[in-house]
Amino acid sequence: MTSAAIALDAVSKHYETPAGLVRAVDEITLDVQAGSSLAITGSSGCGKSTLLGLIGGLEVPTAGHVTVGDQQISSLPEQERARLRRDELGFVFQADNLQPFLTALENIGLQLALKGSRNGYGRARELLDELGLEAHADKLPDQLSGGQRQRVAIARALVHRPRLILADEPTGSLDEDNSHAIVDLLLTAQRAAGGATLVVVTHDPAVAARLGRTVRLRDGRVEHA
């Protein structure tokens, strides 16, 4: 039996703007199998980042339902949604959003600190080693290259072993070599023991091609699945 890690049921996100109604996401229905990987592509403004935000519970749909695992994230109270995100989801964005005053190690460990784990840094160090960044553990983000910073951001997303990894243009500001390495890391995490589901928003066909399946959006709708 396969179970869906993500189920979107006629999900829409509409905004009222001075210029009229914007249908950022328009009645999307989509299942993503647990343990699989999916690319969401499309030109800029097609709604792909909004869709990822809806899956991760960063945004609430105007209509429809989003289910992650066995929980309908779109109708959870805010604090429950925050807990689900913190415990079970891992996020990576184009900008690394690292805390500039914290070292690489501290940035990775902070997710665990929030969960009240006093000794999260052991696991954080382990990940730094796996990512080949052990020599950089005590450096500030400013002292790292773009590719190194993004690897730290990925370690931060993985440190609590999430079952769903959501990445929004994770290679958007990197060159080809770094980009390839970042996708390697995401795929390794997806296939690691226990397995995770991976969803990547990308405008880069080379990145999309490496994932199990691609969904292309246009004007907030699925163009071809």
Partner 1 sequence: MRAPALVRVQELSKTYREAGSEAQVLRGASFELARGETTSLIGVSGSGKTTLMSLLAGLMRPESGSISFDGRALGELDDAERARLRARRIGVVLQSGNLIPFLTAAENVELAIELGGGGKRPRARARQLLGEVGLAERADHEPRRMSGGEAQRVSVAMALANEPDLLLADEVTGQLDSTNADRVMEVIFGAWRDRGLTVLFVTHNAELAARAQRRLRLHDGEVVAA
Q: Is 12 in the site for partner 1 (CB under 8 A)?
A: no
Residue 14 CB, nearest distance to partner 1 (Å)?
15
Burial level of 151, CB count in 10 A (0-12/13-18/19+)?
buried
CB-nearer residue toward partner 1: 56 or 170: 56
Residue 184 CB, nearest distance to partner 1 (Å)?
23
Query: How many beta carbons lie within 10 A of that of residue 73, not counting itself?
Result: 24
Q: Is 16 in the site for partner 1 (CB under 8 A)?
A: no
Cα Rg for the chain, rounded, in angstroms?
17
Contact region with partner 1 (CB under 8 A), list: 16-24, 25-33, 74-82, 121-129: 74-82
Write the binding mask 174 to 203 for partner 1: x where contact by CB under 8 A, - elsewhere. Answer: ------------------------------
Residues 146 and 170: beta-carbon distance below 8 Å: no
Among 4, 113, 181, 187, binds partner 1 (CB under 8 A): 113
- State how far the Cα of 33 lies from the Cα of 211, in Å rounded to an integer: 13
Among 22, 34, 140, 187, binds partner 1 (CB under 8 A): 140
Residues 171 and 183: beta-carbon distance below 8 Å: yes
Burial level of 113, CB count in 10 A (0-12/13-18/19+)?
middle
- State how far the Cα of 44 lies from the Cα of 197, in Å rounded to an integer: 24
Residue 19 CB, nearest distance to partner 1 (Å)?
19
CB-nearer residue toward partner 1: 166 or 214: 166
Burial level of 189, CB count in 10 A (0-12/13-18/19+)?
buried
How much of the chain is in helix, strand and coil states, percent to nearest 5? 35, 30, 35
CB-nearer residue toward partner 1: 45 or 212: 45
Q: Is 86 in the site for partner 1 (CB under 8 A)?
A: yes
Q: Is 206 in the site for partner 1 (CB under 8 A)?
A: no
Query: How many beta carbons lie within 10 A of that of residue 186, not counting itself?
Result: 25
Among 97, 119, 145, 188, binds partner 1 (CB under 8 A): 97
Residue 206 CB, nearest distance to partner 1 (Å)?
26
Contact positions vs partner 1 (CB under 8 A): 53, 56, 58-59, 78-79, 82, 85-86, 89, 91, 93, 97, 99-103, 106, 110, 113-114, 138, 140, 142
